[in-house]
Amino acid sequence: MTKPVIADTKPQLMTLKPGKYYWCSCGSSSKQPFCDGSHQGTSFTPMEFTITEEKKVAMCLCKNTKNSPFCDGSHASL
């Protein structure tokens, strides 16, 4: 797998509490936008990120963002 699977063509809006998260970069996770280990055996690895205070975010599901793990609107050109 050289290109990620497009999990969806729109972001997932959510409120995240402070903590450590692992964003799925391969697009195959059944727990989008978070990693469930589906990348095993591929060249993909999850992206670790930390939220320091509760906030609303738009998580990228198209896996083409230049602002991982957050949506930058790249899905509009797919």
In angstroms, the CA 15 to CA 39 distance is 25
Locus of tokens 């998260």: 21
Instruction: Give residue 58's pLDDT.
Output: 98
Strands in 1-78 per DSSP E = 12-16, 19-23, 47-51, 55-59
User: What is the structure's pLDDT at 2?
Assistant: 85
Give the integer Cα–Cα distance in Å for 35 and 47: 9
What is the chain's pLDDT, residue by residue, as a tens digit (78 residues)?
A: 589 999 999 999 999 999 999 999 999 999 999 999 999 999 999 999 999 999 999 999 999 999 999 999 999 999
Max intra-chain CA distance, the chain: 35
Task: Decide: pTM greater than 0.85.
Answer: yes
- Confidence at residue 77, expressed as pLDDT on a 0 to 100 scale: 94
Quote the pLDDT of residue 1.
54
